[in-house]
Amino acid sequence: MNNGLSPGATEWLLAFADDEHIIGARHTSWIGLGPFLEEDLAFCSIAQDELGHAIALYELLGVDVDRFALLREPSEYRSAWLCELPCADWDLALVRHWLYDEAEALRWESVANSSLEQLRFLAARAQREERFHLDHAEMYLRRLAHSGAEGRSRINAGVASVLPTALGLWEPVAGEPEAISDGITAHSSPELAVLWRERVETKLAAWGYDWQWPTEGPNQQRRTQRSRHFAQLLTDLQEVITVDVDTAW
Amino acid sequence: MKTFEVFLKKDGKTQFRHVGSMQAPDAEMALPLARESYARRAEGDLMWLVDRDDLIVADDDLIAPNANKLHRHNDGKRVADHRRSHRDKEAGE
């Protein structure tokens, strides 16, 4: 990739971009299936925001966005397994949405003063959008905590099911030290993971959910391994572009 | 779920316009959901939501008697004719 960035910076941005792309794709699969029409629109709008961030991040890498986003080998992606999870139940999708956006907010904060000018601009835009994303997730989680036994127990179960995989968001790519020394991002993944845990646990406690902090995350091997859900997801995402990869859509 | 009526206004001289209705669990959630349902392409700069329970709704009977009052649809023609004929008469004198 000819983008003037070091290999480490490139890989770090790639992981961020792939997370945004894959989570956006997973969120959009709720279109037409959300719990009610207005929520359907709101959630898909959030998904579009994430896809928009992905496009902007891929552009920083200097790639042909559509082909690059959709036509790589699985081993060339750097998405975290949390993003790849299907989350076929709404409660799981909601918990994943919240955990991801808490993490995403921290990542944008970490690049707010990046040495890369376009990334600083992008961070400013994304942070405005992320405030709405987090509010959106929290509105539901706050209400479900007091909505009766079913809502509460489903969110408790959702947190127990999704949280271990979510830890993988903070497994850095091999290039992260170089990205930090280049000034692309200010903080390491382990540093952000501490802040993230603090925010997540403070909110869960305030809402009154039960949780146990997991002892270990998924074995993503520095994000070079894809989860078992990825192959089918990629096939689905490629369904249109592979009809004719050279067509301008 | 509650039903809300949504109004949008563009900056400038236009008035608020009713753009539709929507459902939300409560007023706080209605705002962001209305934003995505009706203003995601920035169709308005200002937004009002009105809880349908708070609308003061008139009985049909209140308005119905006014349906048949042609004299309230004056297009000014009779008055204009009258004034013209008066003017013509004065000019003739």
Query: A143, B25: Cβ pair inside 8 Å?
Result: yes
A162 — pLDDT class (breaks 50, 70, 90): very high
Instruction: Measure in Å the smallest separation between the Cα of A223 and chain B Cα atoms.
Output: 34
Q: What is the pLDDT of residue A247?
A: 83
Domain that holds residue A43: 7-243
Nearest Cα residue in chain B from A42:
B36
Q: Is residue A44 part of a domain?
A: yes
Q: Which of A27, A28, A38, A134 to mutate to test the interface with B (most CBs of B within 10 A)?
A: A38
**Distance of alpha carbon A191 from alpha carbon A186, whole angstroms:** 10
Q: State how many domains chain A has.
A: 1
Cβ distance of B32 and A41 shorter than 8 Å: no
Contact A36 B28 (CB under 8 A): no
Q: From first to last of its 93 residues, what are the pLDDT tens digits of chain B?
A: 999 999 999 998 899 999 999 999 999 999 999 999 999 888 999 999 999 999 999 998 998 888 888 778 777 888 888 899 999 988 887
Query: pLDDT band at A134, cuts 50/70/90?
Result: very high
Interface test with A, best of B3, B23, B36 (most A CBs within 10 A): B36
Name, in order, each residue with C-beta under 8 angstroms of A248's C-beta and a sequence gap of 6 or more: none
User: Which residues make Cβ contacts (< 8 Å) with residue A69, sequence separation at least 6?
Assistant: A21, A54, A55, A58
**More confident position, B92 or A113:** A113
DSSP A17-60: HHHHHHHHHHHHTTTTTSSSHHHHHHHHHHHHHHHHHHHHHHHH
State the CATH number of the domain containing residue A58. 1.20.1260.10
Is the residue at A249 inside a domain? no
Domains parsed from chain B with CATH numbers:
2-92 (3.10.20.520)
Please, what is the average pLDDT of chain A?
A: 96
Q: What is the pTM of this model?
A: 0.89
